[in-house]
Amino acid sequence: MEQLQAIKQRFGIIGMSDGLNRALEKSLRVAATDISVLVTGESGVGKENIPKIIHQNSPRKHAKYIAVNCGAIPEGTIDSELFGHEKGAFTGATSTRNGYFEVADGGTIFLDEVGELPLATQVRLLRVLETGEFLKVGSSKVQKTNVRIVAATNVEMQTAIQKNKFREDLYYRLSTVEIHLPPLRKRPEDIPLLFRKFAADFGQKYRMPPLRLDETAQQLLVQYHWKGNIRQLRNVAEQISVLEKEREINAPTLRAYLPEMGAQLPAVVQAKEKESDFSSEREILYKVLFDMKSDLNDLKKLTLEMINNGGNASATEESKGLIQKIYGSENPPAAEPSEKLTLIENDPPNSFSPPASNDLDRYDFVEAIEEEPLSLLDKEIEMIKRALERSKGKRKQAAAELGISERTLYRKIKQYDLNEDETV
């Protein structure tokens, strides 16, 4: 217990919760070894303290300690940052550069947000963990390094593995020992202590008396769901320290600095709601399509009956029901003179005679429309010509209208042998 207290004092860690103490105890136990450690927990819980504790209590404490934020390095340069590169390996590589694994030889590397690493870099990292070997970018010479890797992530690793965003073999290599830091909402006894420490620090920083919370404010502080964890709590303490003149803070004052509780619903619930909305829309669409198909079949039946009866529907109950269903009344509207309905038979016989049955599967009812067929090539040439006409031959304006580059438009004009003077 005394050792834990000394560690907390040295690294500025506040809290007495069981989850926090277990994480610190595991850190001290693995510090003397060289095994890889994976630190997990939500964003803002203080994961960056664990690798420092491990390094400072290990035989490597006098060697280099390098912290790398994997999520902040662009994908195109992450390999160069970690493993180095040779001169001329890529554009801008004007000199040879040593990567972090070479610089930290004999020490410790902390890979923060390791779940953001590209898959290609994950393969390189796996080789370092297994053999201690790596290649600089643009080099074929194998180099050796002796580093201790401590990684951290706020990503749910099993989910990332299932989505093929993280290699399963690398996960098991990194998580020889996994240390989990609990979120702030599961450390309610630590929240007032942390707020008091932050209030004192900011009071000293801004040269004003530190904040004090009354009993109602302390209850609200503990009950609140701290989605941003310690980072959010620190931010709230700083805001109140700067903006409030009164140094005694009550619940209404504190509540003004806290986001609404309703806005902190888990993302899983929102995702389920979206999925449910999508399913409902899809079901409605299916129903509309089925209803349209049913109406079309009814229309076929009614039309066939009219053909068999010389253009008039017989006054049967079925006919009345079909007319009522299709037109909404028993008196269908008169057709406009311009309307033209053509009966086309898929397999036309020598002479047409209406079928005796009500089966019209061989017939389609379409509106007779004369349209000149155009190929895709003809369409493209026509669109280019019209765009040039509207822009009065200005290729830049025509290219913007077509959604292509001016260079592409110029190439197509040459390809199709279009005379720009004729299109204007």
For the chain, the domains span 2-182, 187-262, 272-367, 376-423
- pLDDT (tens digit, 0 to 9) for every residue of the chain, 424 residues total? 788 999 999 999 999 999 999 999 999 999 999 999 999 999 999 999 999 999 999 999 999 999 999 999 998 899 999 999 999 998 888 999 999 999 999 999 999 999 999 999 999 999 999 999 999 999 999 999 999 999 999 999 999 999 999 999 999 999 999 999 999 999 999 999 999 999 999 999 999 999 999 999 999 999 999 999 999 999 999 999 999 999 999 999 999 999 874 344 444 444 444 444 455 455 556 665 666 777 677 777 767 766 666 655 555 555 566 566 555 555 555 544 444 444 444 444 444 444 454 444 444 444 433 444 556 677 778 888 888 888 888 888 888 888 888 888 888 888 877 765 555 5
3-state secondary structure at position 244: coil
Phi, psi of 117 (to 5 degrees): -65, 140
Three-class HEC string of 261-310: HHHHCCHHHHHHHHHHHHHHHHHHHHHHHHHHHHHHHHHHHHHHHHHHCC
CATH code reported for the domain at 187-262:
1.10.8.60
- The CATH classification of domain 2-182, taken from the options 3.40.980.10, 3.40.50.300, 3.40.640.10, 3.40.50.2300: 3.40.50.300
Cα distance between residue 162 and residue 101, in whole Å = 29
3-state secondary structure at position 112: strand
Cα distance between residue 134 and residue 126, in whole Å = 10
**What is the Cβ-side half-sphere exposure of residue 124, based on CA atoms within 13 angstroms?**
22
Asked if domains 2-182 and 187-262 share a fold, the reply is: no
